[in-house]
Chains A and B, each alone.
Chain A
Amino acid sequence: KAGVTQTPRYLIKTRGQQVTLSCSPISGHRSVSWYQQTPGQGLQFLFEYFSETQRNKGNFPGRFSGRQFSNSRSEMNVSTLELGDSALYLCASSLGGLALYNEQFFGPGTRLTVL
């Protein structure tokens, strides 16, 4: 079974631009969560999508948004990029059903550099 894939793996943008990152979950997984990893702030939860609906949201400004498609693939968008948005963006997928515990599997991440 293929793992979680993220595209692109590396991205360089300039301040003020916008960017879209993509995450394809493991087949059969309906939940996708996004995390931002930076040296200063560590790993922080951005949001989670389940069955095309945002189910949970972290404490990030509205410039960060996401969506999920009917095939469970998810995209996150960052508008008006700032230097501080430079980070590794990780997505994680899980079955996301009613069970108390569904293991989350992480993708390799997208390294975003904002110049």
Chain B
Amino acid sequence: AQTVTQSQPEMSVQEAETVTLSCTYDTSESDYYLFWYKQPPSRQMILVIRQEAYKQQNATENRFSVNFQKAAKSFSLKISDSQLGDAAMYFCAYRSLNTGTASKLTFGTGTRLQVTL
């Protein structure tokens, strides 16, 4: 079974600064997807960024980028130019490519990000 670990329960960043959220995972599979989801206080989960394990290039989406280290099973999220609207819980998630479990997301415990002025 796959596991996802987020070792930072809370992080704080000043507006306009950069913050990195950490995530490690464990799997015996070679192909999979990794995700970062954002859950604001309103609770609706939003996809921030996706990484396919077979792609060596790190994914980027505007101010959000990842550092994917497949051998180390590490998948960190970097938020640049932090904004007040970035304050939320951030979840790292794993998804197998096995068609039998393809829709199942395995989540980490989350990191609460605070953005201060």
Choose among A35, A56, A100, A108 the residue that contacts B101 (Cβ–Cβ < 8 A): A56
A74: chain B residues within 8 A (beta carbon): none
Alpha-carbon gap, A84 to B114, bound state (A): 29
A56: chain B residues within 8 A (beta carbon): 100-104
Known pairs A56-B101, A100-B97, A101-B33; A108 contacts B106 (CB<8 A): no
Q: How large is the interface on A (under 10, 10 to 19, 20 to 34, 35 or more residues)?
A: 20 to 34
Nearest opposing residue in chain A for B101, CB measure: A56
Known pairs A100-B97, A101-B33; A45 contacts B44 (CB<8 A): no
Q: How many A-B residue pairs have CB under 8 A?
A: 56
Asked if A94 is at the interface of the complex by the 8 Å CB criterion, the answer is: yes
- Chain B interface, DSSP helix/strand/loop, else mixed: loop
Q: How large is the interface on B (under 10, 10 to 19, 20 to 34, 35 or more residues)?
A: 20 to 34
Q: Most chain-B Cβ atoms within 10 A of its Cβ — which of A50, A105, A106? A: A106
Alpha-carbon gap, A96 to B106, bound state (A): 17
Q: Indicate if the CB atoms of A94 and B107 lie closer than 8 Å.
A: no
B104: chain A residues within 8 A (beta carbon): 33, 45, 48, 56, 58
Nearest opposing residue in chain A for B44, CB measure: A108
- In B95-114, the 8 Å CB interface with A consists of 97, 100-110
Interface residues of A (CB under 8 A from B): 31, 33, 35, 42-45, 48, 50, 55-56, 58, 88, 90, 92, 94, 96, 100-109
